[in-house]
A and B are shown apart, each in its own frame.
Chain A
Amino acid sequence: MIVEATGLRKSFGATEVLTGVDLHVEEGSVLALLGPNGAGKTTTVRILTTLTRPDAGQATVAGYDVLREPAQVRSVISLTGQYAAVDENQTGRENLVMVGRLMHLGRSAARRRTGELLDQFGLTQAMDRRVKTYSGGMRRRLDLAMSLIARPRVIFLDEPTTGLDPASRSTMWDAIGELVRGGTTILLTTQYLEEADRLADRIMVLDKGGIVATGTADDLKSQIGGERIELRFADERQLLKASGVLDGIAGQLVLNLPSDGTAAHLHHVLDVLRDNGVVPERVSSHRPTLDDVFLALTA
């Protein structure tokens, strides 16, 4: 296990922020820490990256203890925080070369790697502009590029796409996907189930400072059910009739059914209703949101 933590606890004053977090990440895999705002994701990441001291518990990264060997840990990891850590008044290129030099690449190696990363992250056009003229998405990409200069073995990404527009988010996902294919170990945090689903091999759901569920995206979805279909009826009588023939949760004039999201299943549902002489007024389907996951997991 390249990242291993047991019993991490942290309080700020009287508020207990982590109540005993255990986690591990296999080399070359992607772990997503999924949780709402305030769950303790950032605190967990800061402990693993040596920036915050836990009150109790242990953690190692690449075999180095985060408390006793922080310098060694820092030489094999990189952190892309929740807020882009870039110098606004330096250009993109200057930011990258600076970090390369601080990682003790030689002058020419730092320049070469800078060129590669500018290219990989689509920043070559903007490389000589000051970062304060960059869009939010460009900043995030530069921030990630700065983290990759020295080819870290473990990359920590704290909410890499929060606040980004859909286009930037998808560029970011592509960039992360490329790292994964290159065999880098990644621990990322997110508030979006979709993001965890798309990027992670394993997902841990963090809520109020504790892990409430662990598994692959499929595991979690089967725990909470996949897609849902919602049928709305004109009156109680029709709803009653429908809930007699379909296995769902009835609410105010609506019936909520689990589904696999295929058209065939929807077709089947409508066929069953028609055969029983019921016509729903409206049909809609939605993917489970993080709220659904939490309702299901903490119920």
Chain B
Amino acid sequence: MSHQGAAAAISDTVTMIDRCVRLMRRNVDTLFVSILLPLLMMALFVYVFGGAIDTGTEYINYVVPGILLLTTGYGASNTAMAVADDMTTGMIDRLRSLPIRSFAVLTGHVTASIARNAVSTAIVIAASLAMGFRPNAGPGDWLAAIGLMLLYVLALSWLAAGVGVIAKSVESASTLSFFMLFLPYLSSAFVPPETMPSWLQPVSEHQPITPVIETVRGFLIGAPPGNDGWIALAWCTGLLLFSFTLATSLYRRRTSR
């Protein structure tokens, strides 16, 4: 890529980010759900189920990291719908017939997803503090937790972008969101895996979300994450590389018939 080419690629990407953030702000339904949903989930788990679940700590301290991962996973997967919307309306032909870098379009959507999740995460954290969440994390721990979540959201957003590229419709792209809303229940997000039936325990312990949750939880409530930290980092980095490659090559395939 020449120097001028790089400048053009950056400018295209900035323009597409600008577009996606604006569209996202105006897509009131999705924005509303992605903020309201985590708050409802938290209230539900803390006030309704919390009393019945014994995790050996204050339940709210146990569950907040789980809620954070559930909502960011869900928020990231909504990227699939935004991408599918572009791919299935005339807009993609307009974008394709312009002389722009192919990854600029997807990068715009992924960046908007990061922004959306940053907002919903901040709101969830603020609400959880108000509801009695008492983390004992130092600035370094917070930074590490946020860094890992950022990597997780980035990886999932690219995966969702790839799903959006091949989805036949916005509705079928939304299946991913459903899946991501469901997957955390089979992890250590809400209940310790030891309490699950024995056939489910290995699934719960070894699926990628569990080490991520354990690590974030470790950083926030002051238990050293140990091995889980490296496993989580490996999962997220691997997923990011895989998803980015997949999404961009699917996009190029689909747009160069």
Contacts and interface: CB of A to CB of B under 8 A. Distances in A.
Interface string A217-236: 00000000000000000000
Contacts of B99: 71, 74-75, 103
Interface of B: 8, 11-12, 15-16, 18-19, 22-23, 26-27, 89-100, 256-257
Contacts of A71: 99
Given A90-B23, A102-B100, A104-B8, A81 B90 contact: yes
A87 B19 contact: yes
A83 B93 CA distance: 10
Contacts of A90: 19, 22-23
A-B pairs, top 8 by smallest CB distance, nearest first, are: A85-B94, A85-B90, A74-B99, A83-B90, A101-B15, A75-B99, A89-B26, A79-B97
Interface in A87-137: 87, 89-90, 94, 98-99, 101-104, 130
B239 to A, nearest CB: 30
A85 B92 CA distance: 8
Interface residues of A, number: 28
Contacts of A94: 22
Contacts of B16: 102
Contacts of B98: 74, 99, 102-103
A83 B92 CA distance: 11
Interface of A: 49-53, 71, 74-75, 77-79, 81, 83-87, 89-90, 94, 98-99, 101-104, 130, 146
A83 B257 CA distance: 19
Contact of B11 (A81, A99, A101, A146): A101
A51 B93 contact: yes
Given A86-B91, A102-B15, A77 B22 contact: no
Nearest to B255: A51
